[in-house]
Structure 1
Amino acid sequence: MERAVLMISLFFWGIANTEAAVTCKNQKNDDVDWYILYKAPRVRNVKDKRIVGTGLEYRYIDSSGSAVVDGTVINDADGILANTLRPLFTPIRKMSSNIGFISYSDQPPGCSAKDTFGHSKGVLVVDKTSTGVWLLHSTPQFPYRRDQNHFWPPSGHENAQTFICVTFKYDMFKKIGEHLQYIRAFPFEHDIPEEFHQELKDAVNWEVKTAPNNFVVMTSDGGRNFHAAAKSRFDGDTAKDGDLYVAIAQLLGSDLDVHTWRCEEDPDGPYCGGLHKVLNIQTVISPGGSWEGPDHSKWCVAETDWACIGDLNRAHTQYKRPGGALCIQNQDVNTFFRAFVGKTSDCNDDFTNVDCNRKRKGLCLVEDIGTFIG
């Protein structure tokens, strides 16, 4: 009898352990500690009006080193994002009781959050018995549906976007829950079971923590340290006190080249009033050409070997909003982003926004971006 019970227990233990771990996944559905995606925009050649690319191509780098993924698109039902988010695609009633998730965005499908919430977008999927993923991104209405075949938003083709995914052990999600409170993330869909970290439950209940700037070291499952930067709401209008990237420059002890959305009504110029300068990237270059305008990504690259994926834009209205970034000290990642830096503003430049009406027509500064994935 005891042997029969043991065999039954082992049988069900084996079934339980056939479930895939909740980790960042690559194109082959293998576990990776972290990855970064940079999706291209859909643009037209200004000379012959020819559409260049689909707006779904991307460049990719992960914890195993730089990798260009040929012939794949970001909305692939068996691609990197779909592989990573597969636990999210399970109906809530059929989810394991060990799984919890939060999808947050100030621009969720079908509506927009009040500007008192953070200008922040991301997804958490967590297995409280092992690991989870934190996916920070810049794409409005993502994920569009919790569906492997419909997670990519219809509007997601037009602009360039960034994603960073990191695998963390369950205990690290206490800090991540606090980070969501600092940036006042807007959770538009979630399921956090009662026995999960209180910090995650507080985040979905719109509890708020405040601090001028908050920097926390978070260690990935694979032992890589990341710096999570968070800026609370600020009622002033100056870059010195409200600009997330000025704070990051001080944290990293380096000048920064910063790329953010340039279609704001009140973009800010370069910041040169402190020990470290913050310069705006005006032109993004790729293996086949360059563009301005149709790029909603938010990232910065330091003169040292740091790079960050961020939430906020460099604009006066954004200085008043909460937001954050995740920074990594890695020479390969720094080089990855440094390769995209084209023309930058300097301290004598007046920074102006891009003509967004022109952008919506797809007529951007493009010679020919060629094949983005190269």
Structure 2
Amino acid sequence: MLRSVLAVALLCWGADGAVTCRNENDEPVNWYILYKAPHLTSQALTGLEYVYIDSNVMRKMAPSTDNYKDIKHPNGVLANTLRPLLTPIRSMPNNFGFISYSDQPPGCNAMDTFGHSKGVVMVDNSGPGVWLLHSTPQFPFRRDQNHFWPESGARNAQIFICVTLGYSQFSHIGMHLQYIGAFPFEHDIPLDFHQELRDAVNWVKSPPPNNLRKLISTDVNQPFYSIAKQQSEQPKVGDLYVTIAQLLDSDLQVQTWGCQRDRKPSYCVSGIHKVLNIKDIHTVLGNWQPKHDHSKWCVAENPNNHWTCIADVNRATTQYQRRGGALCFQNQRIKRIFLQVAQGTDDCSTLNIMDTIDCEPDPHTPSLMG
């Protein structure tokens, strides 16, 4: 009886009661991308500002200004989206389930046998659900509307992509979590939900396929594609971005964390599409280098391929043998935006000169191996 009452009451989660990606006005959107700036005193950036674009407004990546709510605001984009999660488990209706997964959950790090991946899955078996992929350690910090954002999250730039999908698609997402070896640090999946989700929270791992897996979002005109990497010491196999470049039939420009101790230079092998490290990030909020940016993403250079991918792993030898993946989609406008954000790439003759001497250690941020 109590669960039935709560199920009705919690329809007030959002404006229409659905579990969806939501903008800062608490309106449902099919998808959004949120790119948070780093904390840079020299550019008057606190690390809580961000640029944002969604399926409803695709003119540009808009900055967070006085008219926007910062990233940790209790009624901002992330809080609005996560509201079904930001409540005690006993208060959740029986048609709702969730998985928070991360290789760097609050208070610890997952073993390397798990994948290098971070995200949140929220599922309603009677309606749409949400897949939120991101790069932020210790997120969500608490299931609390006022404390979901980790204080350590301000330092580096981070990226989020949220997609709203129908319930049937979450069997595929459950398999993807198995492919990437996701570490579910907090979860509640009811017994009658997709078995693939239940297996994912029980630490089942499956060998990843060698192809893109199509996902149908609530906007049937904008499909998404998941990819999971193989594990190998050889970059041609173990480097996620080399795999993506071959699957998308395009050279790639790639942003990954610049303070990785064994970060690899641009990958250039005859007869294989190139993977080029981005030198600088330029946004309307300010400019920064990869050493200030913990996000992972790539964009196709081929003018006929309008692909952008938000990813899990860095370009580093230690990550060739770890699991991880990406979510990709084709959208000409989004591709153009990310190519404008990427300012210059290391060419094929450039050695890896990303110097960790400039990377100040901080106990509240990822280690130089993360």
Matches within 5 A, 1:1-374: 20-45=17-42, 52-64=44-56, 65=58, 66=60, 68=62, 69-71=64-66, 72-211=69-208, 213-223=210-220, 224-232=222-230, 234=231, 236-273=232-269, 274-287=271-284, 289-292=286-289, 293-303=291-301, 304-355=305-356, 357-360=358-361
Moved more, 96-105 or 327-336: 327-336
**Structure 1 portions without partners, runs of 5+:** 1-10, 46-50, 362-374
* 2:256–2:295 CA contact under 8 A, matched in 1: yes
Cα deviation, 1:125-159, whole Å, max 9, x if unaligned, reads 11000110000000000000000000000100000
Give the Cα separation in 1 of the matches to 2:355 and 2:134: 22
Computing the radius of gyration from Cα coordinates, the structure with the larger value is 1
Matched residue of 1:175: which SS? helix
How far the C-alpha of 1:221 sits from its partner, in A, is 1.0
Read off the aligned partner of 2:244 and give its amino acid letter.
I
How far the C-alpha of 1:14 sits from its partner, in A, is 8.0
Cα deviation, 1:325-354, whole Å, max 9, x if unaligned, reads 000100121122112111310111112333
* 2:6–2:92 CA contact under 8 A, matched in 1: no
How far the C-alpha of 1:283 sits from its partner, in A, is 1.3
How far the C-alpha of 1:13 sits from its partner, in A, is 10
Q: TM-score, normalised by structure 2?
A: 0.89
* 2:7–2:94 CA contact under 8 A, matched in 1: no
* 1:267–1:352 CA contact under 8 A, matched in 2: no
How far the C-alpha of 1:86 sits from its partner, in A, is 0.1
How far the C-alpha of 1:120 sits from its partner, in A, is 0.1
Give the number of the structure with larger relative contact order, counting CA–CA contacts within 8 Å between residues 6 or more apart.
Answer: 1
Q: TM-score, normalised by structure 1?
A: 0.88
Give the Cα separation in 2 of the matches to 1:138 and 1:109: 14
Give the Cα separation in 2 of the matches to 1:247 and 1:335: 22
* RMSD, matched Cα: 1.9
How far the C-alpha of 1:17 sits from its partner, in A, is 5.7
How far the C-alpha of 1:243 sits from its partner, in A, is 0.6
Read off the aligned partner of 2:76 and give its amino acid letter.
G
* 1:138–1:163 CA contact under 8 A, matched in 2: yes
**Structure 2 portions without partners, runs of 5+:** 363-370
From the superposition, tell whether residues 288 and 107 of structure 1 become closer, same or farther in structure 2 (CA, over 3 Å).
Answer: closer
Q: Percent identity?
A: 56
Read off the aligned partner of 1:315 and give its amino acid letter.
A
Give the Cα separation in 2 of the matches to 1:353 and 1:183: 27
Residues paired across the two proteins, number: 344
How far the C-alpha of 1:356 sits from its partner, in A, is 5.3
Give the Cα separation in 2 of the matches to 1:346 and 1:193: 50
* 1:103–1:122 CA contact under 8 A, matched in 2: yes
Cα deviation, 1:58-109, whole Å, max 9, x if unaligned, reads 0111112135143231111100000000000121111000000000000000
Give the Cα separation in 2 of the matches to 1:191 and 1:176: 16
Cα deviation, 1:161-208, whole Å, max 9, x if unaligned, reads 000000000010000000000000000000000000000000000001
Give the Cα separation in 2 of the matches to 1:337 and 1:194: 41
Give the Cα separation in 1 of the matches to 2:343 and 2:135: 21
From the superposition, tell whether residues 327 and 357 of structure 1 become closer, same or farther in structure 2 (CA, over 3 Å).
Answer: same
* 1:214–1:231 CA contact under 8 A, matched in 2: no
How far the C-alpha of 1:16 sits from its partner, in A, is 7.5
How far the C-alpha of 1:286 sits from its partner, in A, is 2.1
Read off the aligned partner of 1:246 and give its amino acid letter.
V
